[in-house]
Chain A
Amino acid sequence: MVDIRQLLILICVLLLLSGCIPNEYKFENRTGEDATKAEELLKGDDRLKGAAALFYEDHLLVGIRVKTFSRFNKRDIAKEVEKKLKKAYPELTVFVSADSKILTETNKLILKNDEKGLKKKIDHLIKLAKEET
């Protein structure tokens, strides 16, 4: 039998270690656009600690992870980043969100590498993010 104290220590260690998830920047370009501009912009912002950007047809879907102490105004940060990206890519429909759902789903779409129904999924994500409670 596992002692309850051992179990508690195990849970504590696991919770502490779960903070060590690497913060990464992922960029996936499936258009003729130049992705380096977005890369520079997102990596240059010191309030962000991770991002996933997906260029597809006329869409640019970006999920960002904001640093812990900037989380209080993460919506404003997302808006600001969106404005900057729109300036850099005037012919794309840019959507930026600081919601962790958008970040994980964008990461999933990048990893899956499946073109079928991608546009539909992107539209679905944007619709979800704009949903009010």
Chain B
Amino acid sequence: MDKKKYAKLEKGITPKPNLLKNCLKAFLVGGTICLIAQFIALFYMTFFDFTERTANNPTVATMIFIAMLLTGFGAYKKIGQVGGAGAAVPITGFGNAVVSAAIEHRSEGYVLGVGGNIFKLAGSVIVYGVFSAFLVALVKTILVKVGVVSW
């Protein structure tokens, strides 16, 4: 079987994903997650001394905590099945990636299992985030030192 034949065969067997439907589902699920986060931010602003700017951090922490609980109870994978990218892109997807890896490798022990694999999926996100933040800060520092912009 040559390459072309295989490609033809593969094309015939693979089910066609309904792109529009999937996009709509992702939009709705992601939007619902953000709506919940908005309510949490509003809660922190109404009952605590947080402004719109400072309410971000506790809101993100709360959303990650909820995602962790849902992952542990096995509910987040159902959300992910329906929502796809809509469930993976918000910060809750990040929490899910960390916790699901930890749960998966629990049987291998706490140090080599949980400790060694907890950042298997989310580690690259953290490394990319820290590294790009470092680069941006470096550029900004140079620009400020040269005198092009101010802090």
B51 close to chain A: CB less than 8 A: yes
- For the complex, give the distance between the alpha carbons of A101 and B54 in Å: 10
B46, B56, B57: most-surrounded residue (chain A CB, <10 A): B46
Which residues of B in the span 25-56 have a Cβ within 8 Å of any Cβ on A? 45-46, 49-56
Chain A binding surface, main DSSP class = helix
A128 close to chain B: CB less than 8 A: yes
Q: Which residue in chain A gives the minimum CB-CB distance to B49?
A: A128
Q: How far is the CB of B91 from chain A (nearest CB, A)?
A: 16
Which residues of A in the span 84-128 have a Cβ within 8 Å of any Cβ on B? 99-102, 104, 124, 128
A131 close to chain B: CB less than 8 A: yes
- For the complex, give the distance between the alpha carbons of A102 and B52 in Å: 9
Count of chain A to chain B residue pairs whose CB atoms are closer than 8 Å in the complex = 26
- For the complex, give the distance between the alpha carbons of A104 and B44 in Å: 13
Complex contact B46–A133 (CB within 8 A): no
Query: B52 contacts which of A100, A124, A132 (Cβ < 8 Å)?
Result: A100
A129 close to chain B: CB less than 8 A: yes
- For the complex, give the distance between the alpha carbons of A128 and B54 in Å: 9
Q: Which residue in chain A gives the minimum CB-CB distance to B35?
A: A15
Complex contact B46–A131 (CB within 8 A): no
Q: Which residues of B contact A99 (CB under 8 A)?
A: 51-53
Complex contact B50–A101 (CB within 8 A): yes
A-B residue pairs, 3 tightest by C-beta: A101-B51, A99-B52, A99-B51
Chain B residues with a Cβ under 8 A of chain A: 45-46, 49-57
